[in-house]
Amino acid sequence: MESVIRGLLLYTFLLLVFRLAGKRTLAQSTNFELVLLLIISETTQQAMVDEDHSITNGLLLILTLMACTISLSLLKQRYRTLEKWLDDVPLVIFENGHMHKDRMDKLRVDEGDILAAARQHQGLQNLDEIKYAVVERNGKIAIIPKRTGKSG
Amino acid sequence: MSTAMARIGELEVGQDLKFERRWWKFERTGWILLALVLLFAILGYLGPGPLTKHVAGTRGGPLWLEYHRYERYHAPVDLRVHIGAVAARGKELQLWIDREYVDAVSMEDVEPQPESVELKNERFVYTFKVSETPRTAKILFQFKPNKFGKTPGRLGIVDGPEVRFTHLFYP
């Protein structure tokens, strides 16, 4: 019983904190963010397992976490508003040469981040080659390039 | 994905600016709450900290103890017992802690090591040998709570004064 409560508490807490941290906070855009994620996972593991290293405890915790995920996915499928609150929605930050500065400020994204995503994923060199930049629900920036022969 | 996606130019994307604005307000409020939790933790309301160090008994009196009011389940806890000149007399010093309190914790260490520990009248009695009459003595109990919630305790010198204290062990 204690394992299940521990699992539930930590799941809820992580969900809340990661959601409050915002789309971009742990989007793994830097090496340090990856390190931070590893530290958080290690801390979570210690708090969840405590001193009980038995197989039963491990199985119970895994089951609890999976049950939480499945239940939430069912609820999110049924209630779209809940899905928005838990998973967020994508947000367009760059649109045909226009940069949505207010949205970018809220998400703590700058022009450099858009250009970095454009270079990494599309091999683009400058903003003129970008049609749209969208911050996806996982915090990654999706770049849609302008295509030649198609109006922009 | 049964509902129609919002369209921005040619881009079909589930953007929802109304929701996003509401979320940003919620997010900022959440940050303030998280900051408050951290502040509380730094001050000592979620574990040992500077503002929640307590003294039970009268400092400089025959018996007083220093402890932190808020501690955590399975985390190391220090209970510092101070014995004044009046109480530390003779060749033996006997301290007791009520059984209910000791049952709520796992005693890890006592410094200095007691000569013996016995259970008498629902109290654990710790006997320390003293070679000469000391002016004062300090005894450190180190343990880990194995229960959570409010845990009151009593500690005293056999045939002498006693003090009461209360811990709150967080899960």
CATH of the domain at B136: 2.60.40.10
Say whether both B77 and B157 belong to one domain.
yes
Residue B47 predicted with pLDDT over 70: yes
Portions of chain A given CATH number 3.30.240.20:
91-145
- Residue with the bigger pLDDT between B130 and B94: it is B94
Say whether both B92 and B121 belong to one domain.
yes
Show the tokens assigned to A111. 């022009």
Q: What is the CATH code of the structural domain delimited by A91-145?
A: 3.30.240.20
CB-CB under 8 Å, B74 with A91: no
Over residues A42-93, the pLDDT tens digits come to 999 988 888 888 899 999 999 999 999 999 999 999 998 999 999 989 999 9
Tell whether A31 lies on the interface with B, counting CB pairs under 8 A: no
For the segment B123-136, the average pLDDT, to the nearest whole number, is 81
Tell whether B1 lies on the interface with A, counting CB pairs under 8 A: no
> What distance lies between CA B55 and its chain's CA centroid?
13
Say whether both B36 and B90 belong to one domain.
no
ipTM of the complex: 0.80
CB B107 within 8 A of CB B95: no
Name all contacts of A33-41 with Cβ < 8 Å and 24+ positions apart.
A40/A14
CB A91 within 8 A of CB A107: yes
Position B107: which residue type?
M
Domain range for residue B24? 13-43
List, in order, residues 6 or more apart from B106 with CB less than 8 Å away. B143, B144, B145, B146
How many Cβ atoms from other residues are within 10 Å of residue B33's Cβ? 12
**Rounded CA separation B65/A138 (Å):** 52
Which among A22, A95, A103 is the nearest to B8, CB-wise?
A95
Residue A17 predicted with pLDDT over 90: yes
What percent of chain A is modeled with pLDDT above 70? 95
CB-CB under 8 Å, A16 with B30: yes
Put simply, the chain B residues between 50 and 89 with a CB less than 8 A from any chain A CB are 74
**Alpha-helix residue ranges (DSSP H) falling in chain B:** 17-43, 99-103
CB A11 within 8 A of CB A68: yes
Tell whether A85 lies on the interface with B, counting CB pairs under 8 A: yes
Tell whether B27 lies on the interface with A, counting CB pairs under 8 A: yes
Residues of B in contact with A91 (CB under 8 A): 15, 20
Say whether both B93 and B69 belong to one domain.
yes
Smallest CA–CA distance from A51 into chain B, residue: B74
